[in-house]
Amino acid sequence: MTAEQRLRAAYALWRDEEATSDQLQAALLIAQQRKFRPKTVIGLDEDRKARHLASLTTLPEALAARMLVVYHLAEQRPMMGAFLDAIGIAHDNGVIRDDAVTPDPTKITAAAAAIAKDYPAHDVSLYLSTLLWQDPVSWGALRGVI
């Protein structure tokens, strides 16, 4: 992730109303690594919490995964939708409708190339890497693309 993506992902986490347990985990992690009291971190404004979180060098895997998901949902829906359209997967504004659907591996390379024309390379790379990381079986064809 670029520094800008990390910051935007941190903002997305703090703004997600459904991520309260992840926000608490992030606050405790910031407190631990910055030698703050947890109550102090929780009381910080969104901007300061996001900047502290984005500056951490390591995150627990579950928190990193949640940040990637909320970042993409908050910031990258058009790109996600374009990719899913290109491989023929039904979606609601970039979110796959049927979790059981498996992408056609023969369409993945062309779909990745299609979004690479319209979106910044670092955004495309992060999105495709996130898909592969979340489900290496379904998105295994991305290994040769990223």
pLDDT at position 87: 95
Name the packing angle between helices 77-87 and 61-75 (round to 10°).
90
What is the pTM (predicted TM-score) of this model?
0.90
3-state helix, strand, coil in the chain (%, to 5): 70, 5, 25
**Domain residue ranges of the chain, discontinuous segments joined by +:** 3-63, 76-144
pLDDT in tens, 101-110: 889 999 999 9
pLDDT in tens, 36-86: 999 999 999 999 999 999 999 999 999 999 999 999 999 999 999 999 999
Cα–Cα distance list, 136 to 26, 29, 122, 131, 133 (Å):
26, 28, 20, 8, 6
- The three-state secondary structure class of 96 is strand
- Cross-strand bridge partners of residue 92: 95
Mean pLDDT of the chain: 95
pLDDT at position 100: 83
16 contacts 70 by C-beta, under 8 angstroms = yes
pLDDT at position 146: 83
Query: Tokens 């390591």 correspond to what residue?
Result: 58
Position 91 pLDDT exceeds 90: yes
How far is 32 from 55, CA to CA, in rounded Å? 13
Position 132 pLDDT exceeds 90: yes
Could you tell me the pLDDT band of residue 137, with boundaries at 50, 70 and 90? very high
